[in-house]
Chain A
């Protein structure tokens, strides 16, 4: 059996286990065991991956298996991973693991909460291991739809509005994607022969240029909606702000990466000529995302909104770097996906924990938290520093690589876009330091805060896992960039020719 299938079976078994038990304690324990197993298995998979590569297997995808599903449409259950998807799987496992521990104290309908959360994760895993476009799309929607219930039931603030807005916008994105996908499918055999949804097969044959030009925007924007591409990002601030903690973590940390990954793996990989032709439009849009997101974050007073806008900015940077289409920049893009995934998950986790204690997310209502909850505050500072790109943490590695890569283009258009994007670093520093200053330092604004308890054990587990991962990438980025180099080069080769 293909080991990748375990990535789907472990969460499914966990969900079945949760359905079986009635006791709240067991619901938590089973979720924690399931997701820990998933995390361990992801590392095991990484080990196997290296072993396979070490043994001289140079196929673009490893652990490939395919089973015919719908014969007449040539739809297959085809799974396989390369270095990029491996990195994404690791990210998903880490964030989901932390997410389970952070949501230890969900207060109502716990069973349903954990099932929806794990269902979301299952969709994400399925997406990353799919080689067949159809199953990829299927898992994409499986990952998106639980968001409605997760935000609508367990969210805060204008949760119903946000949940509906988020779901409809993402589903609207997938509507565009569907058109793009069908276009790819019906142009996958221009010289006659069998139509296919198989990514590798489509790539081998190639799509005619006229079709590429028509369907590239559909596909890229379809994924771009999830990657918070301006002007389709408006679901993101509201959605993140209203979502419960673990959902914000998974959504900003992992789900938004589906957008970048899909835009690269499907839109740009399959339609390279169109990507070259049309890149300029999307470079303009992503530059706006980067700067606009950063400015948006400055004006916000709610911690979650600040972080949501900063996610728009950082995810815009991912798409921006991918469109630069050279080795350095795209390496940076993948690093940024991982780095932002971990960092923003940590941010949202901490915001959730602080909100759980102070019952407010308005920064001007809080202050001096460093004195009462030092553990959480230190974690917050670490997350902030990673976000503004301090050397030694993951953000620096990613952003530095992106901008070095972007500057390799010497024409005026790319230069201007790059300089605009770089300016976001300064703006990021402004809002991060401002928050750290008011929130954590300074005088204590409320006497009640003296009674606050510092992190509980499960919060520590969740937070520390993420910090370790951030530091690991920051200190030793080489293993990660080596992991993603080979598949990147293979994709870039087709993009630059």
Chain B
């Protein structure tokens, strides 16, 4: 252990410090608890910035922990998303009913983030599994955060059960991997190739385990209920950060470790892509509750993401990371507006948004831009993200899959437009009153909008990501 090691582990160490701050903060009197919000936010901002410090590729603890520029970027995407969520959740946490639970919220959130960091940084399947468990268990706490509400408690239990099942499946896959190859180290696995049925089975179990986290169809059944039951800030954490970590892990493992077996997993993901896009879309069409709606929309988007896996090269990985970044910012902007509305009025249904433009033009425009970004309408960033994903799939000659995907994208436009219709066209006798935007929320929206408006035009960002592959 020397200074270099500490520097490589800087993000994890700082995160630990943040967790410790929460424990100390919880010692203070109840009335003064909300001060911890400002302390946490400013230290988290610092923590996010520290992630951008340059670093050398390194491998620690006998190859258990790996660090390189790509992994740092992936962690940074997660920490920026978390920063936005923290900014958006500040006013919700200041509500009297939540004041005593501020420390618990931050504590669980940072613990899961720490777990996700270890998932990404893992150089060994055991490390990956430990990270995954650390990321999952506190999430169930977060889902059940409003524990006095029946649906929130139900969400927590549901998540716990499905996580346990998915962990079991994943573990079974891992044990088969060990059985076939005799090692858990990524570097050793990446040069081994085995086409026995057992290795295929191992891969399928592994993918299924992570597909739970990514809520790919048919492993999606927990998603809508958990999204609906959890508080909004937690829901946005699920749909962006948790999903992002699962996607990045799947990506790193498949592209970097099992690249030689790509024929097997491309086929598996091809099927999952079609079922996820289609089923997610069909369910999203009929949702009235905004949280459930976004749950199914995020399932559909996860289906689109699978198209990036069809190109087994730097194009596939680049488009995946690029798309995830755009998806995160677009989704967070929508969740930001939703949580403002929900905090002020408790309304979460799509009909409640009727006439929203009349009373809140600014927020409606933010929603409009973000929804268009999710739907893939130019000139906002979502168009570029989706276009490049489709390009990745087309580069392998999978035009049928691309056709199914673009038709699904058109269908998804329908329900995104339903929200636009509610806000801009429908009228309402009791519209949502004009909402006050705190400066933290403004900062969050600025971050999101800068990304949504700018990323598409900044080809340098794409080139930068590609340079890391």
A residues with CB within 8 A of B? 69-73, 75, 134, 138-139, 141-142, 145, 148-149, 152-153, 159-160, 164, 167-168, 171-172, 175-176, 178-179, 182-183, 185-186, 214
Contact = CB atoms under 8 A, between A and B. Distances in A.
A401 to B, nearest CB: 36
Interface in B368-394: 372, 377-379, 383, 387-388, 390-391, 394
A441 to B, nearest CB: 39
Contacts of A160: 421, 425
A171 B391 contact: no
Given A153-B424, A171-B410, A141 B394 contact: no
B463 A182 contact: no
B414 A148 contact: no
B425 A73 contact: no
A172 B408 CA distance: 9
B420 A149 contact: yes
Contact of B410 (A70, A73, A75, A168): A168
Given A160-B421, A182-B402, A69 B407 contact: no
Contact of A141 (B383, B399, B402, B420): B383
Nearest 3 A/B pairs, CB to CB: A175-B406, A182-B394, A138-B378
B417 interface: yes
Given A72-B463, A179-B406, A182-B390, A153 B378 contact: no
Given A70-B462, A73-B391, A172 B421 contact: no
Contacts of A185: 391, 394
A70 B424 CA distance: 35
Contacts of B399: 179, 182-183, 214
B425 A168 contact: no
Contacts of A134: 387
B425 A70 contact: no
Given A175-B409, A179-B399, A168 B462 contact: no
B183 interface: no
Contact of B391 (A164, A172, A182): A182
B359 interface: no
A372 B403 CA distance: 55
A147 to B, nearest CB: 11
Contact of B390 (A72, A152, A164, A178): A178
Given A142-B378, A148-B417, A69 B459 contact: yes
B372 A145 contact: yes
Contacts of A72: 315, 318, 462-463, 466
B438 interface: no
Of residues A145, A168, A179, which shows the largest number of chain B Cβ atoms within 10 Å of its Cβ?
A: A179
A167 B463 contact: no
Given A152-B425, A182-B390, A183-B399, A141 B378 contact: yes
A375 B407 CA distance: 48
Contact of B424 (A152, A167, A175, A186): A152
Given A70-B459, A152-B425, A168 B402 contact: no
Given A72-B463, A179-B402, A179-B403, A148 B420 contact: yes
B318 to A, nearest CB: 8
A72 B322 CA distance: 14
A106 to B, nearest CB: 15
Nearest to A177: B406
B390 A141 contact: no
B422 to A, nearest CB: 11
B434 interface: no
Contacts of B260: none
Given A145-B372, A152-B424, A71 B463 contact: yes
Nearest to B407: A175
18 contacts: A69-B459, A72-B315, A72-B462, A72-B463, A72-B466, A73-B388, A73-B391, A138-B383, A142-B379, A149-B420, A160-B425, A167-B413, A168-B414, A171-B413, A172-B407, A179-B406, A182-B402, A186-B395
Main SS at interface, chain B: helix
Nearest to B403: A179
Interface string B237-262: 00000000000000000000000000
B414 A138 contact: no
Contacts of A75: 459
Given A148-B417, A176-B403, 15 more contacts: A69-B459, A70-B463, A134-B387, A145-B372, A149-B420, A159-B425, A164-B414, A167-B417, A168-B410, A175-B409, A175-B410, A178-B402, A179-B402, A182-B399, A186-B394
Nearest to B411: A168
A178 B420 contact: no
A72 B464 CA distance: 11
Interface of B: 315, 318, 372, 377-379, 383, 387-388, 390-391, 394-395, 397, 399, 402-403, 406-407, 409-410, 413-414, 417, 420-421, 424-425, 459, 462-463, 466
B183 to A, nearest CB: 35
Of residues B318, B383, B387, B390, which shows the largest number of chain A Cβ atoms within 10 Å of its Cβ?
A: B387
B337 to A, nearest CB: 18
Contacts of B466: 72
A145 B376 CA distance: 11
A182 B310 CA distance: 15
A167 to B, nearest CB: 7
B439 to A, nearest CB: 23
Nearest to B409: A175
Nearest to B315: A72
Nearest to A135: B378
A183 B397 CA distance: 9
Contacts of A214: 399
Contacts of B414: 164, 168
Contacts of A138: 378-379, 383
B286 to A, nearest CB: 15
Nearest to A183: B399
A285 B419 CA distance: 36
Contacts of A178: 387, 390, 402, 406
A165 B315 CA distance: 35
Given A148-B417, A172-B410, A175-B407, A183 B394 contact: yes
Given A138-B379, A179-B399, A152 B463 contact: no
B213 to A, nearest CB: 29
Contacts of A179: 394, 399, 402-403, 406
B451 to A, nearest CB: 17
A190 to B, nearest CB: 14
A164 B406 CA distance: 17
Contacts of A69: 459
A160 B354 CA distance: 14
A164 to B, nearest CB: 6
A86 to B, nearest CB: 25
Contacts of B402: 178-179, 182
Contact of A153 (B391, B406, B425): B425
A132 to B, nearest CB: 13
A164 B417 contact: yes
B314 to A, nearest CB: 9
A323 to B, nearest CB: 24
Contacts of B425: 152-153, 159-160
Contacts of B388: 73
A328 B459 CA distance: 44
B138 to A, nearest CB: 39
A353 B462 CA distance: 50
Contact of B459 (A71, A139, A145, A182): A71
Contacts of B403: 175-176, 179
A114 to B, nearest CB: 16
B2 to A, nearest CB: 39
Contacts of A176: 403, 406
A315 to B, nearest CB: 22
A141 B372 CA distance: 11
